[in-house]
Structure 1
Amino acid sequence: MSMRLISEHGGEKLGVRPWMRFGAVGVAVTTAAAVGGRAVDADSAWYGSLRKPGWQPPSWAFGVVWTPLYATIAYAGGRALGAAGDRRRRTRPAASLAINLTLNAGWNWLFFSLRSPQAGLVGTVLIDLSNVELIHRMARTNWAAARALLPYAAWCGFATALNGSIARQNPKATAVARHSP
């Protein structure tokens, strides 16, 4: 049996078996989450010393929010790639998703590993710009995929505001971190 399915399902042209497509995107999303997560150290003395706004959610809320957001990213990616059809038309949405996931994972390294709210802020703005492009790209192939990304984009916008507030309240956080052991 060929890897290509000749039928259409729910408006999606399936060039690859759905479980393979969703599995591949799921692995990419899980990898981004794991790579980014390795940099997070919310219990560090440096992070604890930062001034944070009163509206920052408790630390446990981030895991509660990110788990379903990562699931929707995987769903949206798998759905959009299936709707894109042939390999040539899947290249751009796949590249947009890869860039977005790289930026997503990279934010943790900018903020926590560099100990720089300012670098983290640059990272969150880049994620926001990438989200706009990714949603636009997904909408060109599948509206359901684009709509599924809206909560992710909204949370990232909130994260940008939070990161911006932390950067404003801690203008010397990076300089202090460079001289601390």
Structure 2
Amino acid sequence: MKFLPAFALSSAAVTVTAAVGSLVTTPDDLWYKALKKPSFQPPALAFPIAWTALYASIASASTQVLTAETPAPSTVQPAGVWQREQDELERKVRHYKVALGANLVLNAGWSAIFWQGRNYKLATAEAALLAASSIDLARRAYQIKPAAGALLLPYAGWTSFAAVLSGAIAKLNP
């Protein structure tokens, strides 16, 4: 895939996810302010800063993955090796796209479950799925383009932290 279409696709997918999440997130509501929160809860300003950077990294890493190419065949390679490598890369990229779509649905879904549904236990389970999905996404990206996988590690770390934070909120607010 060429750079501009890959960049447009990655950016649009991340932008839609961020927009959906923002629309359902209501940190100024009284019910949220009244919740007991753990001592390790970051300040409110940390969330939009972190998510902006994380969404940018997801779009950047995904663009790198979608534009990955198999190096040109060398004259010393046996016939068909390059084509097998190309087919394998295309398969991995297709699977990455599916994993990315599922991850972004989970990402926006957590916001809806927590903020609109106010179901802290379900939000915690969903956050754990999102963390596992984010780790898997980084792994898949790394297999295709190591720099892209490394770029997704903060996202995997943040979503893992979010799962712990969700669990603590659920425990403090039965």
Shorter chain as denominator, the TM-score bin is 0.7 to 0.9
CA distance in 1, matches of 2:133, 2:51: 18
Deviation at 1:24, TM superposition (A): 0.9
Q: Secondary structure at the residue paired with 1:59?
A: coil
Partner of 1:124: 127
Code of the residue aligned with 2:150 in structure 1: it is R
Code of the residue aligned with 1:19 in structure 2: it is L
Where does the alignment leave 5 or more consecutive residues of structure 2 unmatched?
70-85
Paired residues for 1:91-130 under 5 Å: 91-130=94-133
Instruction: State which drifts further: 120-129 or 87-96.
Output: 87-96
Code of the residue aligned with 1:155 in structure 2: it is W
Identity level (%):
39
Does the 8 Å contact 1:46/1:115 carry over to 2? no
TM-score, structure 1 normalization: 0.82
Partner of 1:64: 49
For residues 44-77 of structure 1, give each alpha carbon's deviation from its aligned partner in whole angstroms, at most 9, with x where no partner exists: 1211111001221111110011101100000111
Partner of 1:45: 30
Q: Quick one: structure 1 residues 166 and 89, their matched pair in 2 at CA, closer, same or farther if it must change by over 3 Å?
A: closer
Does the 8 Å contact 2:11/2:59 carry over to 1? yes
Cα-Cα RMSD: 1.4
Q: Does 1:22 align with 2:7?
A: yes
TM-score, structure 2 normalization: 0.85
Deviation at 1:79, TM superposition (A): 0.4
Q: Secondary structure at the residue paired with 1:98?
A: helix
Partner of 1:149: 152
Partner of 2:79: none
CA distance in 2, matches of 1:151, 1:88: 25
Does the 8 Å contact 1:110/1:120 carry over to 2? yes
The aligned length equals: 156
2:161 aligned to which of 158, 161, 171: 158
CA distance in 2, matches of 1:89, 1:161: 30
Code of the residue aligned with 2:42 in structure 1: it is P
1:73 aligned to which of 43, 54, 58: 58
Deviation at 1:99, TM superposition (A): 0.5
